[in-house]
Structure 1
Amino acid sequence: MSKKAFIFPGQGSQYIGMGKSLYENYKIAKDIFDESSGILNFNLKDLIFNGDINELTKTENAQPAILIVSYSIFKVFSNEFEIKPNFLAGHSLGEISALTCSGSIPFHDALRLVRQRGLFMKEAAKSDIGIMKSIICEDKTVVENECESIRDLGEEVVISNYNSSKQIVISGTKKAVEMVADNVKDKVKKIINLEVSAPFHSPIMESASNKFGEELKKYNYKKGIYTVISNTDAKPYDNFQEIKDKLKNQIILPVQWNQSIEYLVKQGVTCFIEMGPKKVLTDMIKKSYPNMLALSCQDSNDMNKLKNILSKDMIKTKIAFISKCIKAAVSTKNSNFNSIEYKKGVTEPYKKIKRIEDTLEKEERRPNESEINEAIIMLKLIFKTKKVPIKEQMEYFNDIFDEISNKERFINIIQE
């Protein structure tokens, strides 16, 4: 498998019972759900598992609910699979999920932020004056031009989402959105009402954007461990200081999702894994890029397919770990010219590492924990015997450990 991107859905993916199986089967997910109710000071878990869909769909509830489920899926997935993403990307709300999973925003802060984001959006939407519709069309300019014509009449309606080359979303007042839909219905393939409670990513949300901008200033952010793509410009965050401005502006700007996926494809991403309820983003990518591998963590068939792919990929990855050990053993400078010590501390341990590599290649399997331990111990002995400086040793080990996702288990060996 080549480059991978984890993708996170936005509002509209919620449903009653989402995440319940995770809660019942994984302690880490149970802890996240239970912690969330304490952070928010109300039992959101009960609403998610047993509540009314209309109540869950309210933006102030849907946003934290989807974040909780997406974050739980990410944590469970990360524990179950030894796989690292090259990129993270999220659709609207999902961008905050992505930043949370990357480590730029602590989960407890992210949960409070999305709850407030939803409340601000609810206030800005006023008395149900706004709606959103998804439009499937061959030519988006038809819809763009119609939106412009309706705006010229003094109504509020905009393109709020560029989801794919053939799917866009319009957002605005109920009257304006219905006018656009009615005027283009014979020129497009399909029009779908969205299960959201406010006209997101439109000028109607300006007050919510301003209030959320002030809320964002109350929290601290840091550099994440994964590259996250921004909705506003379909480019990676250059630094964590951009988070406040980009998340503020995202509320009133169109979601550049299609452009984000195009960027990832140009970067060499060939596998997309959706971390969230339903598989809306997965289906979108499959339609736009039929040759790409798009999988949903909510689909058991997709997960079985992923397990098979990862099983083969892990073998290559872990053999690469052993190969790097061998390369380090032979490429480091030797400063020990005692032939007896060299034979015992370099030649013999090198042969042991090489035997592990030969065995793995012959049996077409990944090394077990004891084989990884032995390779590390042997390489450490080689370094010591060759009198390699400690700083240089650590540089080699850091590079070698990049090949495994559970490196914390083995770091203590080199520190002994």
Structure 2
Amino acid sequence: MKSAVLFPPLMTLKSGNFLDLYQAFPQVREKFKESSAILGYDLAERFFSEDIAVINQGDIARPSIVTISTALHDMLKETFGSPAYYVGPSLGQMTAIHCSGALSFEDTIRMVKGMCDLEEKDERNKGYGVFFFYNIDCSIMEKNMQIVRESGGYAEPCMYACSNQMIVNGDFDSLDKLAEMAMSQGGLGVTIPFGPPGHCSLLTDVQSKFAEQFMPTISPLRPEPPLISNVDGSAITDGDGVSDEIIGQYVVTVQWYEVLKSLKSKGVEKLFVLGPGQFISKSLQFTDIPFEVETLVTMEEIRGKFPHYVKGQV
């Protein structure tokens, strides 16, 4: 059966999230030590802080999610056999790039941190937020966004999750207006706390600086297995394609629904959902594309793959 491995995007975090994975698995703890050495600060200490503002800082949350996802991938890779493709929405694609062999772990962590630093310095994207809209057809949301823009507001899609789920960037007044419109149409819109704008024109300057300052420091290799592009759903089979994906998805809406359709068209029947958070697994419950899905997200699911090993190591 042809399969693909999916990695999680950035998510809103609470104190204690994924601490069970860190405490249970020495591989996760070792990977955090590796990340800390690359970053120059104790990532685990900050990520497992009680201060949710600290936990959700870009330079803490993003490297930590990549670190946990990578550790679990390395622990569980025998479970996947020989997947046909690797992919993940947004941040998940950075993890997929590393796990496919296209980029070293050190370069991946440096890349994620570099992205955070440039975004934090950029003033253009300040004062904007992100909402998640669901139970409303994306074509209706597109019309709603056009109405908001025509009235002087700003609204731009961040991700098409499936046919009736969309993540939207916007100024807060526009997002509130969109939420009111969606509710009147049978949908719901909820804010994503700590959610920075992503995959939109607000990041044009950041994209340019990242391409100039960071990309010359890395040399992506051929991904094995191939990746599926967040930008257009095509297969990425060489290092140049990886570079184009890293730069391109900065200002282009993540086409996650198109990614799923692309996987299906390429004969993929089973998806392994790997890493912390429930976004992908919950989103797949609402898609109209049939897949067999195996989630490796919770402690119980992960522990179940090697109970004897865990018992001896915890």
State TM-score, norm by structure 2: 0.88
Q: In the aligned structure 2, how far is the partner of 1:127 from the partner of 1:164?
A: 26
Equivalent position of 1:84 in the other structure: 82
| Counterpart-to-counterpart distance in 1, 2:289 and 2:236 | 28
Where 2:270 maps in the other structure, the secondary structure is strand
Q: Which amino acid aligns with 1:109?
A: D
1:305–1:61 distance in 2 versus 1, CA, 3 Å:
closer
Task: Describe the shift of the 1:301–1:66 C-alpha distance in structure 2 as closer, same or farther (beyond 3 A).
Answer: closer
Q: Hey, what does 1:198 align to over in structure 2? A: 196
Q: CA 1:127/1:6 → structure 2, altered by over 3 Å: closer, same or farther? A: closer
The yes-or-no answer on 1:186 pairing with 2:178 is no
Matched residue, 2:251? 252
- Give the Å deviation of 1:262: 1.1
CA deviations 1:237-261 (Å, max 9, x no partner) are 1421122232122121111001101
Query: What is the 5 A alignment of 1:160-175?
Result: 160-175=158-173
Q: Which residue of 2 aligns with 1:403?
A: none
Larger mean CA deviation between 56-65 and 85-94 belongs to 56-65
Q: 2:159 touches 2:167 (CA, 8 Å); kept in 1? A: yes
Residues 194 and 75 (structure 1), Cα distance of their counterparts in 2 relative to 1, 3 Å cut: same
In structure 2, what is the Cα distance between the partners aligned to 1:67 and 1:261? Answer: 21
- Paired amino acid for 2:185: K
Shift of 1:300: 4.9
- Alignment correspondent of 1:263: 262
Alignment of 1:114-125 (within 5 A): 114-124=112-122
Seen in structure 2, the aligned counterparts of structure 1 residues 95 and 275 have a Cα distance that, compared at 3 Å, is same
- Aligned residue number for residue 4 of structure 1: 3
The number of equivalent residue pairs is 305
Q: Which runs of 5+ in 2 are unaligned?
A: 307-314
Moved more, 68-77 or 46-55: 46-55
Distance in 1 (alpha carbons) for counterparts of 2:305 and 2:164: 28
Cα gap change, 1:216/1:85 in structure 2, threshold over 3 Å: closer, same or farther? same
How far residue 59 of structure 1 moved from its aligned partner, in angstroms, is 2.1
Contact kept in structure 1, 2:6 and 2:274, CA below 8 Å: yes
Contact preservation (8 Å) 2:132, 2:190: yes
SS state at 1:288 partner: coil
| Structure 1 residue 137 displacement after superposition | 3.2
Match status 1:65 vs 2:45? no
TM-score normalised to the size of structure 1? 0.68
Q: Secondary structure at the match of 2:235?
A: coil
Cα distance between partner residues in 1 of 2:133 and 2:123? 22
One-letter identity of the residue aligned with 1:178: D
| Helix, strand or coil at the partner of 1:246 | helix
Secondary structure of 1:60 counterpart:
helix
* Amino acid aligned to 2:103: I
Cα distance, 1:230–1:35 mapped onto 2, change above 3 Å: same
Matched to 1:296, the amino acid is T
Identical-residue share of aligned pairs (%) = 20
Partner of 2:311 in structure 1? none
Between Structure 1 and Structure 2, which shows a larger proportion of helix residues?
Answer: 1
Contact 1:173 1:199 in 2 (8 A): no
Name the SS of the counterpart of 2:269 in structure 1.
Answer: strand
Structure-2 change in CA distance of 1:92 and 1:99 (3 Å): same
Tell me what 2:139 maps to: 141
Corresponding residue of 2:241: 242
Asked if the contact 1:4/1:87 (under 8 Å) is kept, the reply is: yes
| Matches for 1:27-42 after TM superposition, within 5 Å | 27-42=26-41
Distance 1:300 1:40 in 2: 27
Aligned residue type for 2:93: E
Shift in Å at residue 220 of structure 1?
1.3
| CA RMSD after TM alignment | 2.3
1:132–1:170 CA contact under 8 A, matched in 2: yes
Give 1:11 shift. Answer: 0.9
Are positions 1:108 and 2:127 aligned together?
A: no
Structure-2 change in CA distance of 1:150 and 1:222 (3 Å): same
Deviation at 1:104, TM superposition (A): 0.3
User: The residue matched to 1:37 in structure 2 has which SS?
Assistant: helix
Work out whether residues 295 and 303 of structure 1, in 8 Å CA contact, stay in contact via their aligned partners in 2: no
Supply the AA of the counterpart residue of 1:239.
D
- Rounded Cα–Cα distance in structure 2 between residues aligned with 1:222 and 1:304: 32
Q: Is the 8 A contact 2:5 2:83 kept in 1?
A: yes
Which structure would you say has the larger RCO, counting Cα contacts within 8 Å and 6 or more residues apart? 2
Residue 96 of structure 2 is matched in structure 1 by 98
CA deviations 1:272-306 (Å, max 9, x no partner) are 12221122101211222585322322235545887
Structure 1 segment 328-407 matched on structure 2, within 5 A: none
Shift of 1:152: 2.6
Q: Distance in 2 between matches of 1:125 and 1:144?
A: 27
Per the alignment, do residues 171 and 15 of structure 1 end up closer, same or farther by CA in structure 2, a change over 3 Å counting? same
Query: For 2:119 and 2:90, how far apart are their aligned partners in 1?
Result: 13
Deviation of 1:91 after TM superposition, in Å, equals 0.7
Shift in CA distance, 59/188, structure 1 to aligned 2, threshold 3 Å: farther
Letter in 1 for 2:216: K
Is the 1:125–1:198 contact (alpha carbons within 8 Å) kept by the matching residues of 2? Answer: no
The aligned residue for residue 279 of structure 2 is: 280
One-letter amino acid of the counterpart of residue 58, structure 1: Q
Contact 1:4 1:270 in 2 (8 A): yes
Bigger radius of gyration: 1
Query: Helix, strand or coil for the counterpart of 1:146?
Result: helix
Instruction: Give the drift of 1:114.
Output: 0.3
